[in-house]
Chain A
Amino acid sequence: MSTNGIESWAVDLAKTTAVYPFQGMEFILFLAGVAFWIWWHVVQFRQEKREIDHVTDASDLSSKSKDLIDKY
């Protein structure tokens, strides 16, 4: 038994097609991939909001901003 159905390379390559493991689960993989992509955006937006809040809440922001602006 093997995860892609091939247990030796004694095969005719002209008749060999997909060789990735767990064939037949591609659509579930696709759904999981889309969910991962959307999850990434959700997490990223939360992280960015927290970062922006951190800046706007910073003490002595205007003085620090002037220093940073001077660095160009």
Chain B
Amino acid sequence: MGSNIDALTTIFTEFYYWVTVVFMFLIHVGFCLYEVAASRRRNHMHTLMKNTMVIPLVTVTFFFFGWWIYFAFPNGPFINGGINFDAATGARPWDPAMGTNLGDHINGVFWAAFLLFSWTAASIVSGSVIERIRSGAFWILAVVIGSFAWIIDASWGWHWDGWMVKILGYHDAYASGVIHAIAGGFALGVLIVLGPRLGKFRKDGSPRDIPPHNPWLVTLGLFMIYTGFWGFYAACNVPLISPEVIDGQITGVTWTATNIYLAPTTLSAITFNFLMSLAGGMMMAFVVSKGDAFWTYSGGLAGIITASAGNDLYHPIQAMFIAGIGAWCAYKLHYWVERKFKIDDAVGAVAVHGYAGFIGLVIAGFMLWGQPSSPYDGYAAINPLGQLAGAVIMFGVLGFLPGFIVAKILNGMGILRIPRAVELAGLDFEASEAYEAAVAEVNEADKNMV
């Protein structure tokens, strides 16, 4: 920190990311509430712990190798160059920059902001597989999506130097694809192998509704996710940077906030678009679901997710309409896929995150056609084909395929799904027995003292 202005910029940036991390914690709180509420009473504790333990497992693995992947893999590797060992030096888990270091004010908070995205990616998958997956199997899948698959896609398409940005003109400022489409695709891959919950489909193949145990808690959880989403949006920006530091084609001396590609944006712009896309998604979902609370809330999320790829550049009314399209498609596709392919996605995660994210990327290709993907010279402009290819890579190549393959391996080892008898008795069977025994014993002891 050479001057006072440098010091202020550095400390402001450090504090900015720190605040986003605290906000994003609410996303995980929301997912936990929502999942427990959607599950039946006999599965509550296991459902809660399944998602809760994402926090420590993805955290340690993201420290061990996830963060290094982000800086090492922007070239593919071997698509646009090799592994970038030099750029990833400070992200090695044994590097002094990855610890208590008075010479570095950014690495820890920047790592944490990405880590919270990692939890979100794993948490999105968690809801769709409730009540029949083994926790141990899910936690392996959580590490694969949270500390490996998603951070590869971030390195490719959510990095100023990523090959997808350079070659395809890929633009995904607030992560329609790099978080949501990949997590939705991953969940779909797992669900195909895992199969539906017992009783989900009637003998004639038509689906039954399995209502949430507690609809109020479902909506409270989704409200929490909305709140955390604010932090997520802010964390996608670089808050303050000078043109000399960007070192691109921008002229003049005006400092700015940027998106992850170091292209200029403002918090004001994304606040307009966040709220207008939330509104568009909720309004459309309310209509298409005929006032269903769960789908109205989920439609708000689907709306934001659809508009997110271009929410740094859209007009707010454009964001609203794009969000409405995404929410409508997510609702219709969820039920069509459920009926047609017998996929039991307990919380609609594949639709709300996967299909909406995919559609959002494609729409951004047309809406932002010809606009620069980067402030640097020689990068491809944003275009429909590049966005479509990006959507396929996110949803299919880095999402669906790893989810399907790892689930197949776990299934082949006999450790993916709980036995039928356990599913019927409930995952909390042993814990319930222990609870009832403890209550009976303590009540007996208390009565003997009266």
Q: A-side interface residues toward B, CB under 8 Å?
A: 13-14, 16-20, 23, 26-27, 29-30, 33-34, 36-37, 40-41, 44-45, 48, 51-52, 54-56, 58, 61, 64-65, 68-69, 71-72
- B11 within 8 A of partner (CB): no
Kindly list chain A residues whose C-beta atoms are within 8 Å of the C-beta of B134.
48, 52
Kindly list chain A residues whose C-beta atoms are within 8 Å of the C-beta of B206.
none
Kindly list chain A residues whose C-beta atoms are within 8 Å of the C-beta of B96.
17-18, 23, 26
The total number of A-B Cβ pairs within 8 Å is 91
CB distance from B275 to the nearest CB of A (A): 37
Q: Which B residue sits closest to A15, measured CB to CB?
A: B103
Interface centre among A14, A37, A54 (most CB of B within 10 A): A37
- Secondary structure of the A side of the interface? helix
The answer to whether B140 touches A56, judged by C-beta atoms less than 8 angstroms apart, is no
Kindly list chain A residues whose C-beta atoms are within 8 Å of the C-beta of B422.
52, 55-56
CB distance from A71 to the nearest CB of B (A): 5
Closest 9 CB pairs of A and B: A26-B94, A17-B103, A18-B96, A65-B425, A27-B94, A68-B42, A20-B100, A16-B102, A55-B429
Interface centre among B64, B93, B432 (most CB of A within 10 A): B93
The answer to whether A52 touches B102, judged by C-beta atoms less than 8 angstroms apart, is no
Kindly list chain A residues whose C-beta atoms are within 8 Å of the C-beta of B426.
65, 68
- B135 within 8 A of partner (CB): yes
Kindly list chain B residues whose C-beta atoms are within 8 Å of the C-beta of A45.
136, 415
Q: Which chain B residues (179-227) contact chain A, with CB distance < 8 Å?
A: 213
Q: How far is the CA of A72 from the CA of B95 in the complex (A)?
A: 51
CB distance from A50 to the nearest CB of B (A): 9
Kindly list chain B residues whose C-beta atoms are within 8 Å of the C-beta of A71.
41-42
The answer to whether A52 touches B64, judged by C-beta atoms less than 8 angstroms apart, is no
The answer to whether B425 touches A41, judged by C-beta atoms less than 8 angstroms apart, is no
Q: How far is the CA of A39 from the CA of B19 in the complex (A)?
A: 33
- B60 within 8 A of partner (CB): yes
The answer to whether A69 touches B430, judged by C-beta atoms less than 8 angstroms apart, is no
CB distance from B144 to the nearest CB of A (A): 13
Q: B-side interface residues toward A, CB under 8 Å?
A: 1, 40-42, 57, 60-61, 63-64, 93-96, 99-104, 134-136, 139-140, 213, 415, 418-419, 421-422, 424-426, 429-430, 432
Kindly list chain B residues whose C-beta atoms are within 8 Å of the C-beta of A54.
429-430
Kindly list chain A residues whose C-beta atoms are within 8 Å of the C-beta of B419.
52, 56
A-B CB contact pairs (8 Å), 27 listed: A13-B102, A16-B102, A17-B102, A18-B102, A18-B103, A20-B99, A23-B96, A26-B93, A26-B99, A27-B94, A33-B64, A34-B64, A37-B57, A37-B60, A37-B64, A41-B139, A44-B139, A45-B136, A45-B415, A54-B429, A56-B421, A56-B422, A58-B425, A64-B425, A68-B429, A69-B424, A71-B41
CB distance from A44 to the nearest CB of B (A): 5
The answer to whether A55 touches B101, judged by C-beta atoms less than 8 angstroms apart, is no
The answer to whether B136 touches A44, judged by C-beta atoms less than 8 angstroms apart, is yes
The answer to whether A58 touches B61, judged by C-beta atoms less than 8 angstroms apart, is no
The answer to whether A16 touches B41, judged by C-beta atoms less than 8 angstroms apart, is no
The answer to whether A65 touches B136, judged by C-beta atoms less than 8 angstroms apart, is no
Kindly list chain A residues whose C-beta atoms are within 8 Å of the C-beta of B57.
37, 40
CB distance from B8 to the nearest CB of A (A): 16
Q: How far is the CA of A69 from the CA of B43 in the complex (A)?
A: 10
Given A41-B136, A55-B422: A72 and B213 interface contact (C-beta under 8 Å): yes
Q: How far is the CA of A55 from the CA of B88 in the complex (A)?
A: 48
The answer to whether A33 touches B93, judged by C-beta atoms less than 8 angstroms apart, is yes
Q: How far is the CA of A71 from the CA of B213 in the complex (A)?
A: 10
Kindly list chain B residues whose C-beta atoms are within 8 Å of the C-beta of A61.
421, 425
The answer to whether B136 touches A48, judged by C-beta atoms less than 8 angstroms apart, is yes
Q: How far is the CA of A51 from the CA of B424 in the complex (A)?
A: 15
Q: How far is the CA of A65 from the CA of B263 in the complex (A)?
A: 58
Q: Which of A26, A27, A29, A65 interacts with B424 by CB under 8 Å?
A: A65
Kindly list chain B residues whose C-beta atoms are within 8 Å of the C-beta of A65.
421, 424-426
Q: How far is the CA of A30 from the CA of B60 in the complex (A)?
A: 10
